[in-house]
Chain A
Amino acid sequence: MNTWLLSILIFSPLLGVLVLMFIPSHDEKSIKWLGVLGTLFPLGIALVVLSAFNIAEEGLQLAERFSWISYEVFQSKGEVKYPIFYEVGVNGLSMVLILLTAVVSVLAAIASFSIKQNWKSYFILFFLLEMGMLGVFAAQNLFLFFIFFEITLIPMFFLIGRWGYLEREKAAYSFLIYNGVGSAILLIVFVALFMKTGTMNFEQLAYTLSLPQAELNQLFITKGFKMGMLIALLIAFAVKLPVFPLHSWMVRVHVQAPPAIVMIHSGILLKIGAYGVIVFGAGMFPEQFKSLAFIIGLFGVINLLYGAFLALTQTDVKRVLAYSSVSHMGIVLIGLAAVNESGMTGAVFQVVSHGLISALLFFLVGALYDRAGSSELSAFGGVAKRMPILAGIFLAGGLASLGLPGMSGFISEFMAFLGLFEKMPVLAAVGTLGLILTAVYVLRAVLAITFGAEKDLHKADDLSSSERIPAFVLLAAILFIGIYPAWLSDMLRPTLDAILLGLGG
C-alpha cells in the first residue's frame, strides 16, 4: 500500500525553505522564528508517523515504492534491465532515528538563535540538512540512501565553512574530503552490488546475498567478493562514525562548527555511521560480519580508550567533548562486535543515548561560549554560583555521559559490555578501563567549569527561557530512556531480532 506519509515527512523541511524565500533577509526575528517553526512541522509529521507505526509488527512499514530510473543494457547475455526505485519505509530502528532527528533538529534550530549573521541562508541550508538526514534513515535502497547521505554533506560544508569559528574553512574542507572518501568507497560498493545482483533494495539485497553459494557463483559473487565489500563498507562508515585513526576531521568539525550544527553533527550525523554498519554490515553480510567481530571489537576498545585518554588531556571543553564522542562511538562498536541481542541493543541504545547527551552538552557549551567568548576550561570557574541552572544541567549531562544509572548512558554501556563479556571477556575487561577514564575526564571538565574560583564573564546570566527549552527537553529524554528503557527496546526489538536471525543468534 502506498501512503504518502513518509515522503511528506522527508520533504517537509522544504516547506520551510519555500517560506523563507519570501522573507526579506534582514528580518532577523521572523527568520529565526520561522527556523524553529520549520523544524516543528517535520517533528509534528514524525509524531503522526510514529502513531501510524505499529510497534509489534515486524518488517517494513509505511513503505512507498515508485519506479524512478531504469537502465537498459544490451550485453552478450541479451538485454538486462537495471531498475532503480524510489523506495522509502521505516522499521523500528529507522523510526527511532527519525524521531531523534526531528527532535534534535528542533532543539538545534532553537540553539541557532545565537547565529549572528546571514540567518536566511543559514536556515535554508539547515532545512536541507534536515531533509537529508530524514531521508537517510527512511531510504530503503542503496541509491536513495547514497543521495540523501550526500545531501547532508553539502549543507554541512557550507554551515561549517560560513558560520563556524576561526579555522572554519579548514574544518569544512577536512569534513568534505574525509566524508568524500567515505562516500566514494560507499558508491563503489553500492554500484558493484547493484551490477551483480540487479537490485538496490535493502531487503532484496539481503535475500540475494543469503542465497546458497552455488547460486551466488552464477552471479559472480564469491566469498572473497563479499568479504571485500564488507571491509570496504566498514571503512566507509568508519570515517563517518568515526573510528580511530580516521577521526581527526571530526574533532576539527566539533571545535570549529557553530554549536547548533555540532548538536546535529554529533547527535545525528555520526549516527549514520552506526546505522550503516548495522543495516549494511550486519544486515547484509552476516557471516563475514561475524568473522570480523573480534577486529570490530578491538577497534571499539581502541576508540574507547584512545578517545578517553585524549579527552583527559584537553584544555578546551569542545575538544573534551569531541574526544568523548570518539570514545563513546567505541561503545557502539563494542556492542556490535558482541553479535548478540544485548550487544546489539546496547549499540543502538548508545546511538540514541549519545545523540541526546552530546546534543545537550554541545548546546550547553554553545551557551557557555556565548557568555565567555571562549571555550577554554581555564576561562571558566564557579559557574554554579552565578548560573545555577546552567551548571546543574551541565553536571546532569556530564553524569549521563559517564553512564550514571538512571540515565540513558548507563543502559547502553551496560548492555554493550554485557554482550561483549559473553563473547570476548578479555577484550571487554580491557574496555571497562575506558569507563573509569570517562568518569575522570567528564568530572574534570564539569568541575573545572562549575566550581572553583569565579572568573569574569562578559555576560553572566543564567539560561534564558529560550535556552531552557532545549536543555530541559533533552535532559527529560535522557532520563526517560534511563528510567523506562522498555519503550525504546520494544521499538527496536523486531528489527534487531531480524538482524540477529541473519547473524545466527
Chain B
Amino acid sequence: MDLDTLLSFKWSVMAPEFIILGVATLLSLIDLFMKKESSRKPLAWLAGAGVLAALVAIFMQLDLEVTSILYDTYRLDSFSKAFKILLLLGTLLVLVLAASYKKEDIEENRGEFYYLLLSALLGAMMMASSADLITLFVGLELLSLSSYIMAGLERRNKRSNESAFKYVVSGGIATAITLFGISYVFGLTGETNLFMIAQNMQEPELLKHGFLLMFAFIIMFAGLTFKIAAAPLHMWAPDVYEGAPVPVTAFLSVVSKTAGFVILLRVIIITFIAAPGINSDNILLQVQPYIMALAAATMIIGNVTALRQRNIKRMFAYSSIAQAGYILVPFVSNSSLLFELIWFYLLAYLFMNIGAFTIIQILTAQEKSNDISIFRGLFKRSPWLAVPMTFFLLSLAGIPVTAGFVGKFGIFMGALGLEPAHYWLAAVMMATTLVSYLYYFNVIAVMFFRDGEGAKVSVPSGMAAILAFCAVSTIVLGVMPDLALDFFYGNFDINEFFMNIEAVDTHTH
C-alpha cells in the first residue's frame, strides 16, 4: 500500500474513532505529567467531553452512505452507526458514574481508569465497524485487555485482584476457542474478509464440508458468547462483577455486552447467511436448535441462580446473564427483526442496568456492604432512590410501561413470528421471566415492606443526573417506544449491512 492509496481513503469516516483515540492519548499524557497527589477528576470531564464529541460526530455521519476504507477492515454502515451510539452512550453514563465514585482506593489509579475505559471503547467501536476477521479480533482483544486491567483497578482489594485474574484466564480461554473456530473458517474459505468468506462459502467444493463448517460455526459462536456472558461461558461474570469497582461492572455488563452482540451479529450473520450446513441446507437454520438450547440454558441458569444470591452485585451478575439469554432469542427469528430487537433491547438494557448500578454504587459505598439488606426501608429513607430503583427493577422484570417490557414484547414477536414459531423457546423465556419476578420483586419488597435503620442517603449530583436520565428514558421508551424505533428505521437499512461495496470498488479500479 503506497502513500497515495493511503491518502485516497476517506479518513473522515473514522472521525469518532480518531476522537476517542486522541482523547485517550491525551489523557495518558496528562496523567503522566500531573502531580501524584492531585485529583484526577478533571480527566473524567475531558474523557466525557471526548465521548460526547464522538457521539456528535456519529450523529453527523447519520446521512452518510455506506463507506468502506482500508479494504473493508473499516466500514461505516448504518449497523455500525446504530450500535456505536449505544456503545458511546453507555460509556458516557459510566464516565459520569465513575466521576462521582467516592471510594478512596481508586483515587491513585484514576487516570488509568479513564484512558483504559476509552481504549476499551475504541476496541468496541472497531468491532462495530469492521468487516474483517483480523481487525474484528484486534478490536475484541483491545476491549478485552483494557477490561482485564480495569477489573483489577483496586489494587489493594483482594477481590478486585481475584476478579481480574479470573477474567484474564477465562477470557484467554474464550479467545483461544474463538481463534480456533476462525482458523477453520479461514482454512475452508481462504479469506479473512467477511464478505469474501460469505462469497466463498457458496463454492460447490464446500458443500462436501458441511460438517466442518457447522463445527467451525459452533466453536466460533461459543467463543464469542464469552463477552455476553452466555452459558456455558458465563462463570466469570459473578466473580468479576462482584470484585470489580462498580463503574467497571456497569461497563462490563452494558458496553462490553453490547460489543459482544455486535461482533456476534457481524461475524455470524454476514458470513453464514448463505452458507451450506450438513446436506447443504442453510446452516443458520440448521444450527437453530443449538442457539435455542444455548439461549434457554442461559436464561435458566441466570435466573435460577440469581434466586439464591444475597449479594446484590452477584444477583445483578446473574440477572445480566439471564438478560443475555433473552437477547439471544432473536437470533432464531430469520428476519430483520433480529437487528431492531437486539438494538432496542440493548438500548433499554443500557438505561435500566446503568440506572440500577448507580443506585447499587451509592448504597454499597455508604453501607460498606453488598448484602441485599442495604436496601432495607429505602422507600422511607430515600424515596427518590427507591422509586427510580423500582422503575429499573420493573423494567428488568419486563413489566409494562417500561422499556424492558417493550423489549421483551419484541423478542416474543421474533420468537413467534415466522413459521415455524418457536413456542417452547417463548415458553422457557416466559417461565424464566416469572422466576426473575421473585428476585427482582424481592429487592422491591425489601425497599418498601421492611423497616430500615440506616441514615438518609446522600446522592452526588452527577449520579442524580444519571438516575433521572435513566429513569425518564426507561419510562418514556416504555410508553413511546416509537421514539427509538422510528429513529432506528429511519437510519437503519438492512441492505447496507449485507452490501459488499469493497467488491464494487475493486472492479472499478
Contacts and interface: CB of A to CB of B under 8 A. Distances in A.
Interface of A: 68-76, 82, 121, 143, 146-147, 150-151, 153-154, 157-158, 161-162, 168-169, 172-173, 176-177, 180-181, 184-185, 187-188, 191-192, 194-195, 220
Contact of A188 (B335, B379, B427, B489): B427
A176 B337 contact: no
A75 B336 contact: yes
B421 A192 contact: yes
A126 to B, nearest CB: 15
Contacts of B269: none
B394 A154 contact: yes
A73 B417 contact: yes
Contact of B434 (A82, A181, A191, A195): A181
Contact of B400 (A151, A162, A191): A151
Interface in B315-337: 334-337
Contacts of B489: 72
Interface in B426-466: 426-427, 430-431, 433-434, 437-438, 441, 445, 448-449
Given A74-B336, A195-B417, A147 B485 contact: no
Contacts of A176: 437, 441
Interface residues of B, number: 40
Interface stretch (B36-44, B211-219, B257-265, B405-413): B405-413
B482 interface: yes
Nearest to B450: A169
Given A150-B400, A191-B409, A194-B413, A180 B434 contact: yes
B434 A71 contact: no
Nearest to A228: B423
Given A177-B437, A192-B421, A74 B494 contact: yes
B401 A71 contact: no
Given A68-B482, A161-B449, A73 B336 contact: yes
The list of the 10 closest CB pairs from A to B, nearest first, reads: A74-B336, A75-B335, A184-B430, A147-B400, A191-B412, A150-B400, A195-B417, A192-B416, A180-B434, A191-B416
Residue from A151, A188, A220 whose CB has the most chain B CB atoms within 10 Å: A188
Given A157-B441, A220-B419, A151 B335 contact: no
9 contacts: A69-B406, A71-B410, A76-B418, A143-B409, A154-B399, A177-B437, A180-B434, A187-B430, A195-B421
Contacts of A151: 400-401
Contact of B445 (A121, A161, A177): A161
A70 B412 contact: no
Contacts of A177: 434, 437-438
A226 to B, nearest CB: 14
A126 B480 CA distance: 24
Contacts of A220: 419
B242 interface: no
Contacts of B482: 68-70
Contacts of A76: 334-335, 418
Contact of A75 (B334, B409, B431): B334
Contacts of A191: 409, 412-413, 416, 426
Contacts of B394: 154
A69 B430 contact: no
A449 B445 CA distance: 36
A172 B449 CA distance: 11
Q: Is the interface of A mostly helix, strand, loop or mixed?
A: helix
A141 to B, nearest CB: 13
Nearest to B492: A72
B112 interface: no
A184 B400 contact: no
A188 B422 CA distance: 11
Nearest to A143: B409
Nearest to A194: B413
Interface in B458-495: 480-482, 485, 489, 494
A73 B410 CA distance: 11
A169 B413 contact: no
A187 B434 contact: no
Contacts of A146: 400
A299 B438 CA distance: 30
A74 B426 CA distance: 21
A69 B426 contact: no
B430 to A, nearest CB: 4
Contacts of B448: 158, 161-162
B481 A69 contact: yes
B340 interface: yes
Nearest to A192: B416
Given A69-B482, A71-B340, A191-B416, 14 more contacts: A71-B337, A72-B336, A73-B336, A74-B335, A146-B400, A150-B400, A150-B405, A157-B441, A158-B448, A161-B445, A168-B449, A177-B438, A187-B412, A195-B421
Contacts of B438: 173, 177
A419 B430 CA distance: 38
Contacts of B434: 177, 180-181, 184
Contacts of B433: 184
A69 B488 CA distance: 13
Contacts of A82: 413
B335 A180 contact: no
A429 B399 CA distance: 44
A185 B429 CA distance: 11
Contacts of A195: 413, 416-417, 421
A317 to B, nearest CB: 26
A73 B337 contact: yes
Contacts of B437: 176-177, 180
A191 B398 CA distance: 15
B420 to A, nearest CB: 9
Contacts of A68: 480, 482
B335 A173 contact: no
Contact of B431 (A71, A184, A194): A184
A150 B335 contact: no
A468 to B, nearest CB: 33
Contacts of A153: 399
Contacts of B337: 71, 73, 75
Interface string B47-64: 000000000000000000
Nearest to B426: A188
B416 A73 contact: no
A147 B405 CA distance: 9
Contact of A169 (B405, B406, B430, B445): B445
Nearest to A161: B449
A150 B399 contact: yes
Contacts of B335: 73-76
Nearest to A193: B416
A14 to B, nearest CB: 12
A177 B417 CA distance: 27
Nearest to A75: B335
A148 to B, nearest CB: 8
A177 B441 CA distance: 11
Nearest to B335: A75
Contact of A187 (B409, B417, B421): B409
Nearest to A67: B482
Residue from A71, A73, A158, A185 whose CB has the most chain B CB atoms within 10 Å: A71
Nearest to A180: B434
Nearest to A164: B449
Residue from B400, B431, B482, B494 whose CB has the most chain A CB atoms within 10 Å: B400
Contacts of A121: 379
A153 B394 CA distance: 12
Contacts of B418: 75-76
Contact of A69 (B399, B421, B485): B485
B491 to A, nearest CB: 13
Contacts of B405: 147, 150
Contacts of A75: 334-337, 417-418
Nearest to B383: A121
A475 to B, nearest CB: 36
A49 to B, nearest CB: 24
A222 to B, nearest CB: 11
Contacts of B334: 75-76
